[in-house]
């Protein structure tokens, strides 16, 4: 059993393993690389066998005090991402018969369940009415808002769409989401109509469904240089929310939450919503149930002594 393997060398092998054998996305590999590099940032030039419970405890304390651009410390969720990456790395080392700490020795920090923020129908209408659809940019932005709420797409999935991915007549298409898993996407007639209006105004042949209209215009045969970025969509949604007078924090993910909430409030079953959101585990989808179960209100109205007629 190799007992003197350098940490950086093993990490490089692990990242290759993720790409070649696990077929993980480049974004996932980059995230794992980032998290695992933070171990060597803290501990320096170490061997895999040097990673023990005491080193991990000190690393967690270091992470807990590590600031970001927007906060004085990393959130517990972000800290857990580092620990999840390290656990996966240690499992890989065990497969390679490297002397390494058992992955099950690492416990994640307890985190509070995130509160679901969603928009009600009146807020959604106000948000969607903000873009000035006479212009090309406004038409694009209205199409994006309608598509996000209609489909439940993640913003990364939305910006990765090409024109030929979306069947506007059938109002359905396939998208590859997290974990390289494909799932069907269905959209409303309103969303299809706004996308079609936007595409009719386009004077280009670029492949991306949604493109930007500022910045560098250097040539690229694929048109990917013009592809709208996730960050641009986030800024755009936040700006229209402010213009609409919506005080809560609104992001593309808020529209994904609103999509799920709308389905469940109107009687959709949890398993179907799980499939449409692309959640691997139904427990992830269950964060919506405490705010969307119409049956609970009926029970309250029927049986609570203060509300019975």
> In this predicted structure, what is the pLDDT of residue 173?
93
Residue 308: exposed, middle, or buried by beta-carbon count in 10 A (0-12, 13-18, 19+)? exposed
For 184-201, what is each residue's pLDDT tens digit? 999 999 999 999 999 999
> In this predicted structure, what is the pLDDT of residue 221?
47
> In this predicted structure, what is the pLDDT of residue 258?
93
Structural contact between residues 131 and 141, judged by C-beta atoms closer than 8 angstroms: yes
Residue 212: exposed, middle, or buried by beta-carbon count in 10 A (0-12, 13-18, 19+)? middle
Q: Is the whole-model pTM more than 0.95?
A: no
> In this predicted structure, what is the pLDDT of residue 113?
66
| Fold: same for 7-105 and 121-297 | no
Tokens 């030039």 label which residue? 45
Sites in the chain below the pLDDT cut of 50: 219-221
**Would you give the DSSP letter of residue 38?**
H
User: 7-105 architecture in CATH?
Assistant: Orthogonal Bundle (1.10)
Residue 18 to residue 25: CA distance in whole angstroms: 8
Angle made by CA atoms 94, 88, 282, in degrees to the nearest 5: 130
Residue ranges of domains in the chain: 7-105, 121-297
Query: Which residues are catalytic, by number?
Result: 154, 178, 253, 256, 279, 288
Residue 194 to residue 160: CA distance in whole angstroms: 18
Tokens of 65: 């005090």
> In this predicted structure, what is the pLDDT of residue 219?
43
> In this predicted structure, what is the pLDDT of residue 69?
56
Q: Which residue, 7, 108, 11, is CA-closest to 49?
A: 7
> In this predicted structure, what is the pLDDT of residue 286?
83
φ, ψ (nearest 5 deg) of residue 4: -130, 35
For domain 121-297, give the CATH number: 1.10.443.10
Measured in whole angstroms, the distance separating CA 26 from the mean position of its chain's CA atoms is: 15
């Amino acid at each position: 059993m190799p007992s003197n393997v350098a940490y950086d060398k093993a990490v490089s092998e692990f990242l290759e393993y993720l790409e070649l054998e696990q077929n993980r996305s480049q974004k996932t590999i980059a995230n794992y690389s980032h998290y695992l590099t933070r171990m060597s940032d803290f501990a320096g030039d170490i061997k895999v066998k040097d990673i023990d419970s005491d080193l991990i405890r000190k690393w967690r304390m270091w992470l807990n005090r590590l600031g970001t651009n927007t906060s004085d410390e990393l959130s517990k969720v972000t800290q857990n991402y580092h620990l999840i990456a390290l656990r996966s790395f240690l499992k890989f080392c065990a497969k390679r018969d490297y002397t390494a700490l058992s992955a099950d020795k690492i416990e994640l920090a307890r985190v509070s369940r995130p509160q679901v923020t969603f928009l009600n129908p009146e807020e959604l209408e106000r948000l969607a009415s903000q873009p000035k659809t006479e212009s090309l940019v406004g038409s694009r932005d209205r199409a994006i808002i309608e598509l996000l709420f209609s489909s439940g797409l993640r913003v990364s999935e939305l910006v990765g769409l090409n024109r030929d991915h979306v069947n506007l007549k059938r109002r359905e298409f396939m998208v590859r989401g997290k974990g390289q898993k494909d799932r069907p996407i269905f959209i409303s007639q309103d969303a299809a109509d706004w996308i079609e209006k936007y595409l009719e105004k386009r004077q280009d042949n670029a492949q991306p469904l949604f493109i930007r209209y500022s910045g560098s215009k250097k040539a690229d045969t694929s048109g990917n240089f013009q592809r709208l970025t996730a960050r641009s969509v986030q800024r755009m949604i936040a700006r229209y929310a402010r213009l609409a007078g919506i005080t809560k924090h609104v992001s593309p993910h808020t529209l994904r939450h609103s999509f799920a909430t709308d389905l469940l409030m109107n009687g959709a079953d949890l398993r179907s919503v799980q499939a449409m959101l692309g959640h691997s585990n139904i427990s992830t989808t269950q964060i919506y149930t405490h705010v969307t179960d119409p049956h609970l209100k009926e029970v309250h109205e029927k049986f609570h002594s203060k509300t019975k007629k």
